[in-house]
């Protein structure tokens, strides 16, 4: 199982960000973590990637407990954080080669940078500075960075946030194609996005998982996220 989350809770001070969350993601699934702002999506992803400790519970990623062996857990995981930290003054190719070296790729960094540039469709932009790119291309650079060490599992925090409709289509297609040979957990607050990219939908609200179903099992076209929440809250 690439991702196993067992009864994870997280508090910031006295505020609960995650409450007893459990989730198993088998190999090959593309899971959309859907929820409004403040639901706990980024917190869960930070815990899964070892950037934040949980207060209770256990997260096992690619066979390793992230609290005990964070480096091993991360070795097979690519992470696009919510604030995609790309360096505006570096050239795209230079940035990716540098990140590759920091990942320990050594002399392979150059070749691997070229590969992820091709894979994420940024070849025409590779000689520009990161800061000169459109938001859509910057997201691609973030994805390219997440793919550098050829991980099997991808954790993508709002990969499409802030993109215009044209850029959205491109990034969605890219993520769909990555989903063919990766296990993916991505977050979004857009319903239709889950339908376009994901095989499974997990809805999180106020730190609780309130729905977990195959994408086909619910009609996302006719329902707004708000309606769905209202329904779920009434049912409980």
For the record, the structure tokens of 174 come out as: 């890219």
198: number of CA atoms within 13 Å, CB side? 29
The residue from 43, 77, 160, 167 that contacts ligand ADP (CB under 6 A) is 43
Between residues 82 and 152, which has the closer beta carbon with respect to ligand ADP? 82
Per-residue contact flags (x/-) with Mg ion for residues 34 to 73, judged by CB under 5 A:
-------xx-------------------------------
The CA-to-CA distance between both ends of the chain, in Å, stands at 29
Q: Does 40 bind ligand ADP (CB under 6 A)?
A: yes
Q: Does 35 bind ligand ADP (CB under 6 A)?
A: yes
CB of 38 to Mg ion, least distance (A): 8
Q: Does 179 bind ligand ADP (CB under 6 A)?
A: no
The residue from 8, 25, 41, 50 that contacts ligand ADP (CB under 6 A) is 41
For Cα atoms 219, 220, 221, give the angle at the middle one, nearest 5 degrees. Answer: 95
Which of 159, 151, 158 minimizes the C-alpha distance to 181? 151
Q: Hey, is 161 helix, strand or coil?
A: coil
Between residues 44 and 96, which has the closer beta carbon with respect to ligand ADP? 44
113-118 contacts at long range (C-beta below 8 A, 24 or more positions apart): 113/144, 113/148, 116/144, 116/145, 116/147, 116/148, 117/92, 117/93, 117/144
CB of 228 to ligand ADP, least distance (A): 16
The residue ranges that bind ligand ADP (CB under 6 A) are 12, 15, 17, 35, 37-43
């Amino acid at each position: 199982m690439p991702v196993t989350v067992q009864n994870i809770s997280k508090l910031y001070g006295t505020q609960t960000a995650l409450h007893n969350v459990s989730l198993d993601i088998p190999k090959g699934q593309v899971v959309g973590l859907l929820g409004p702002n403040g639901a706990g999506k980024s917190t869960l992803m930070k815990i899964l990637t070892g950037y934040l400790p949980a207060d209770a519970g256990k997260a096992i990623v690619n066979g390793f407990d992230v609290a005990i062996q964070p480096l091993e857990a991360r070795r097979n995981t690519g992470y696009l954080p919510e604030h995609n930290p790309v360096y505006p003054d570096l050239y795209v190719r230079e940035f990716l080669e540098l990140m590759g070296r920091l990942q320990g790729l050594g002399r392979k960094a150059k070749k691997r940078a070229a590969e992820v540039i091709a894979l994420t469709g940024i070849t025409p932009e590779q000689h520009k500075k990161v800061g000169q790119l459109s938001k859509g291309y910057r997201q691609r650079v973030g994805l390219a960075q997440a793919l550098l060490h050829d991980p099997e599992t991808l954790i993508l925090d709002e990969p499409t946030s802030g993109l215009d409709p044209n850029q959205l289509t491109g990034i969605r297609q890219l993520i769909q194609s990555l989903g063919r040979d990766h296990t993916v957990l991505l977050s979004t607050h857009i319903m239709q996005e889950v339908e376009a990219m994901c095989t499974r939908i997990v809805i999180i609200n106020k730190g609780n998982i309130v729905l977990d179903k195959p994408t086909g099992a619910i009609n996302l076209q006719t329902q707004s996220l708000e309606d769905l929440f209202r329904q779920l809250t009434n049912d409980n």
